[in-house]
Amino acid sequence: MYRDKTRIVTIGDRKIGGGNPILIQSMTNTKTEDVSSTVQQILELEKAGCEIIRCAVPTMEAAQALAEIKKSIHIPLVADIHFDYRLAIAAIENGADKIRINPGNIGSRDRIKAVVDAAKERNIPIRVGVNSGSLEKHLVEKYHGVTAEGLVESALEKTAIIEDLGYNNLVISIKSSDVCMCAKAHEMIAEKTDYPLHVGITEAGTLYSGNIKSALGLGIILYQGIGDTIRVSLTGSPLEEVKSAKLILRTLGLRKGGIEVVSCPTCGRTEIDLIGLANRVETMVQDIPLDIKVAVMGCVVNGPGEAKEAAIGIAGGKGVGLLIKGGEIIRKVPENQLLDELRKELLMMADNR
């Protein structure tokens, strides 16, 4: 696999590349200057399974806030910088574990060198980020539009600038909202460099469309053994990004742990709010440390049989539900107590591991 051959980069107390586990990243949507709100969101994301967090640094106040934010969180903090090289330096000085820049919008070589020198002094990794929406004019003209080839060439040009300045503690990110273009670009760049790759489908969209595009794009890329960190970019809560990323990795067999919820499609026999129940179960199990499958079935006729592959499950009927283990009914439960009874059973299973 490509990820086994990428060089190892240390971000805070985490290592990526070289076959290390793929880490889940998200980005805060609070004002970074608002330290308390930003810390609160990061702690919520940590609990959900986020392993690297990125914060926007659009002002000097935001850069300085990183020092206070770092005191209260437990995962590496990445500073996202655009245009102003002084903000990148200030972010490094205030404890950022990694910075994300596009050397193309930082300015002159002297300004890029000032950022690289600051990163080199503290051995802070630089993530070189290239986005299809901001591909350089000469590459658009060369390839007659925005293409995978152009994205790869842009990324390699920018890493070469930093390498020429004597630094190679780098991570590369090439993103596009076009799934096929993004997949092709990652296939190409994985053949050309051994830097770790941060993978995602940028501007993927809402919870609905964004999850579909991200699952397809990340699935294609990760299945080929490409990618060292991932972000699911959604127009929604960062918590949803983390939840989706965990499920994508687990579905591909790249991560174990956590409860997988399976549920049947609704049909004319369904006499409960199966959609609402399945969503509540999925939320309820997030904090339970088990590596099992839980089934949520909407019919007491086929539910027990369909739930056989799950360690435990529930099947709902009119006013009453069944609690099922290994395909066998263990007891009937009033419908309004079904969720609580399932949680009690799961907690007992966790205690008896």
What DSSP line would sit under 308-346, residue for residue?
Answer: TTSSEEEEE-SSEEEEEETTEEEEEEEGGGHHHHHHHHH
* Claim to verify: residue 212 and residue 323 sit in the same structural domain: no
Q: For the domain that residue 345 is a member of, what is the CATH number?
A: 3.30.413.10
What's the confidence (pLDDT) of residue 17? 95
* Claim to verify: residue 189 and residue 96 sit in the same structural domain: yes
* Claim to verify: residue 12 and residue 146 sit in the same structural domain: yes
* Claim to verify: residue 59 and residue 197 sit in the same structural domain: yes
By residue range, what is the domain housing residue 287? 260-351
Higher pLDDT, 215 or 134: 215
How many domains is the chain partitioned into structurally?
2
* Claim to verify: residue 246 and residue 296 sit in the same structural domain: no
How many angstroms separate the CA atoms of 254 and 299, rounded? 32
pLDDT tops 80 at residue 64? yes
* Claim to verify: residue 148 and residue 274 sit in the same structural domain: no
Q: Is the dihedral of CA 185, 168, 62, 84 positive or negative?
A: negative
Q: For the domain that residue 211 is a member of, what is the CATH number?
A: 3.20.20.20
Residue-wise pLDDT for 150-174, tens only, equals 999 999 999 999 999 999 999 999 9
* Structure-derived torsion over alpha carbons of residues 249, 178, 226, 215, reported in degrees to the nearest 10: 10
* Claim to verify: residue 152 and residue 297 sit in the same structural domain: no
Domain finish residue from 212, 227, 251: 251
Q: What percent of the chain has pLDDT over 70?
A: 94
* Claim to verify: residue 218 and residue 339 sit in the same structural domain: no
* Claim to verify: residue 240 and residue 278 sit in the same structural domain: no
What DSSP line would sit under 213-277, residue for residue?
Answer: HHHHHHHHHHHTT--SEE----SS-HHHHHHHHHHHHHHTTS---SPEEEEPPP-TT--S-HHHH
Residue-wise pLDDT for 331-342, tens only, equals 888 878 888 888
pLDDT tops 80 at residue 326? no
* Claim to verify: residue 264 and residue 216 sit in the same structural domain: no
pTM: 0.83
* Claim to verify: residue 148 and residue 197 sit in the same structural domain: yes
Domain finish residue from 196, 216, 251: 251
Residue-wise pLDDT for 236-274, tens only, equals 889 999 989 998 998 898 987 777 887 777 665 566 667
Domain finish residue from 218, 251, 284: 251
Higher pLDDT, 273 or 103: 103
Listed range (4-18, 99-113, 116-130) with the worst mean pLDDT? 99-113
Q: Under DSSP, is residue 136 helix (H, G, I), strand (E, B) or coil?
A: coil
Q: What is the mean pLDDT of residues 291-297?
A: 82
* Claim to verify: residue 221 and residue 279 sit in the same structural domain: no
